[in-house]
């Protein structure tokens, strides 16, 4: 196989348990994937409280899973039986990766946006328009955006949260990344969440931030792009989707001149 990106150094900041597929794709093209997780996902330990909410799940018309982690960080078992679908309960996934995780867990998916992978994409679906009297349970991590719940409530829904995981800053050795920045040898940075971006700045020596801001930054949404620009990043590219393949294609465009800077 022709290696298009020989020796291009790409910083991969995905959580460690989600990074290897992207790293493998990059390395197949000749890149040097620099593994530097700036975010870790940890399941919440209050499983009894989570199961108590799930015991009442049939009182909801919609269960909305906000990410793949919302699926994988809890087993969704109750009395040794997985949640079973009944006609009055529907399951929504915020994107294709979340839908795939649900199906792998044995949970049916009734709604997943054809286009998009965020709250706005779910809210645009026809089934989410007339929500008067509908009860929705949003399954997510601790904190996060309020857009989905706020809009559903404005449409007449009753919305509750079930938080099953938390985002934490990992203890990653930053010496290699600091050295690459000091030597101007970090070619591309990939970021998949606002928290990962914020943690990146905290985890790296402040003296290298100006060099960091000049490196091409690949993000997976316009929301992250706007925040990155406000922070000071100068060259920012947005992928077509948050998938590893889309990130790889954007890396190729950054390196081969397919993007005009600044944007």
Q: Please report which confidence band the pLDDT of residue 1 belongs to, taking 50, 70 and 90 as the band edges.
A: very low
> Which domains can be identified in the chain, with CATH numbers?
9-39+170-256 (3.40.50.10090), 42-167 (3.40.50.10090)
Task: Give the residue among 199, 191, 141, 144 at the shortest CA–CA distance from 174.
Answer: 199
Q: Is residue 79's pLDDT more than 80?
A: no
- Lowest mean pLDDT across 77-81, 96-100, 133-137: 77-81
- Lowest mean pLDDT across 160-174, 204-218, 249-263: 249-263
pLDDT, tens digit, for every residue of 189-208? 999 999 999 999 999 999 99
pLDDT, tens digit, for every residue of 146-158? 999 999 999 999 9
Q: Is residue 85's pLDDT more than 60?
A: no
Residue 34 backbone zone (phi > 0: left; psi -120 to 50: alpha; other: beta):
beta
- Mean pLDDT of all residues in 68-82: 71
Q: Is residue 88's pLDDT more than 80?
A: no
Check the CA dihedral 189-194-261-117 and report its sign. positive
pLDDT, tens digit, for every residue of 89-112? 899 999 888 999 998 888 889 999
pLDDT given for residue 105 in this prediction: 84
pLDDT, tens digit, for every residue of 231-262? 999 999 999 988 999 999 999 998 887 777 66
Give 88: exposed, middle or buried? Use CB within 10 Å, 0-12, 13-18, 19+.
exposed
Q: Is residue 80's pLDDT more than 50?
A: no
Residue 173 backbone zone (phi > 0: left; psi -120 to 50: alpha; other: beta):
beta
pLDDT given for residue 166 in this prediction: 93
Q: Please report which confidence band the pLDDT of residue 86 belongs to, taking 50, 70 and 90 as the band edges.
A: low
The model's pTM is: 0.85
Q: Is residue 34's pLDDT more than 90?
A: yes
pLDDT, tens digit, for every residue of 37-64? 999 999 998 888 888 888 888 899 999 9
Q: Is residue 169's pLDDT more than 60?
A: yes
> H-helix or E-strand containing 62?
strand 62-65
């Amino acid at each position: 196989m022709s290696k298009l990106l020989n020796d291009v150094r790409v910083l991969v900041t995905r959580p460690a348990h989600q990074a290897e597929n992207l790293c493998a794709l990059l390395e197949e093209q000749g890149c040097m994937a620099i593994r530097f997780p700036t975010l870790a996902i940890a399941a919440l330990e209050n499983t009894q409280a989570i199961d108590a909410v799930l015991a009442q799940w049939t009182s909801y018309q919609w269960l909305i899973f906000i990410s793949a982690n919302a699926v994988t960080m809890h087993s969704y078992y109750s009395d040794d039986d997985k949640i079973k679908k009944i006609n009055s309960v529907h399951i929504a996934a915020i994107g294709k990766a979340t839908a795939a995780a649900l199906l792998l867990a044995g949970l049916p998916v009734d709604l997943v946006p054809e286009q998009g992978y965020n709250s706005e994409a779910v809210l645009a679906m026809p089934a989410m328009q007339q929500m008067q009297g509908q009860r929705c349970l949003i399954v997510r991590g601790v904190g996060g955006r309020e857009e989905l719940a706020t809009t559903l409530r404005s449409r007449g829904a009753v919305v509750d949260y079930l938080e099953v995981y938390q985002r934490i800053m990992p203890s990653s050795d930053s010496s290699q990344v600091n050295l690459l920045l000091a030597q101007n040898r970090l070619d591309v940075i990939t970021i998949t969440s606002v928290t990962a971006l914020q943690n990146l700045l905290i985890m790296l020596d402040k003296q290298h931030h100006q060099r960091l801001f000049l490196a091409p930054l690949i993000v997976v949404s316009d929301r992250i792009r706007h925040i990155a620009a406000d922070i000071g990043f100068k060259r920012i590219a947005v992928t077509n989707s948050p998938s590893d393949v889309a990130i790889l294609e954007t890396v190729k465009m950054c390196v081969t001149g397919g993007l005009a800077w600044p944007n």
